[in-house]
Amino acid sequence: MNNISRRSFIKSTSLGMTIFATQAFSQPLSTLIFDNKKQNIIDLDYVIYDKGVKRSEEFAKKMAALGTKTYEINGDISNLWSEVIRPTWGIKNDTAIAGLTTYETLFVLQKVAFDRGMVLYFNAEHKIDGKDAIHNIKTTKNQFAKIKNNLGKYSWTETLALNMNSYPYEKAQIRSDLKSVADSSANKEILYSWIIAPRVS
């Protein structure tokens, strides 16, 4: 991750690459999946985004550039429920999902996840107010340190994408705030990032 430049990450995102946006992810797909399992990394199946929410859509594009499939939510989760959740959650081959969404989307998915025995491994609230963004993050100590370090080099949505793309099967240990520059948009809003994945023994 250290050899990913901000320029190369943005360039790869704008080109719409779907797998291995940077040199850090240039190894074969099968090797990456094997390494993720060996390192106890969550293998994300989908990144969920809210249609019409600009930052949510942009985050999904960044995750797609790193190899994760995207799934659009347009007001409700009925299609996601019938196509992804019901066939897998609590049955077999539980699907791991992540997103940067509104509170409403997270609330519904978190409730379904609880009912189906899934786990919310990571979640953060992002308050964007003009030029500043305050991130209230619940995560592991190691991941918090990585996020804090990456915020000094990348935008906050890029930081989220890079860290959530290789997130461990570890329950959150701390909740703390970080501050960053918002982004090019001055729109005020509150969004939530999260990872929901199967429970592991």
Give the model confidence (pLDDT) of 47-96 as tens digits.
999 999 999 999 999 999 999 999 999 988 999 999 999 988 987 678 99
Q: What is the DSSP string of 93-137?
A: SPPPEEEEE-HHHHHHHHHHHHHTTEEEEEEEEEEEETTEEEEEE
pLDDT band at 185 (very low <50, low <70, confident <90, very high): low
Q: Which residues pair with 119 in a beta bridge?
A: 197
DSSP 27-51: S-HHHHHHHHHHTTB----EEEEET
User: If pLDDT is split at 50, 70 and 90, which confidence band does 1 have?
Assistant: very low
Q: In the numeric block, which tokens belong to residue 2?
A: 């250290």
> Using only C-alpha atoms, what is the Rg of the chain?
16
| 8 A C-beta contact, residue 14 and residue 75 | no
Average pLDDT, the chain: 83
- Structure confidence at residue 21 (pLDDT): 43
pLDDT of residue 82: 94
CA-to-CA dists, residue 106 to 8, 64, 92, 157, 195, angstroms: 31, 20, 23, 17, 10
The CA distance from 31 to 28, in Å, is 5
Q: Cβ(116)–Cβ(84) under 8 Å?
A: no
Task: Count the residues in the chain.
Answer: 201
Rounded distance between C-alpha atoms, residue 192 and residue 99, angstroms? 8
- Angle between helices 141-151 and 156-164 in degrees, nearest 10: 140
**pLDDT cut 70: percent of the chain above it:** 78
**Residues 130, 110: Cα–Cα separation, whole Å:** 29
Residues 6+ apart with CB under 8 A from 7: none
pTM above 0.85, yes or no: no
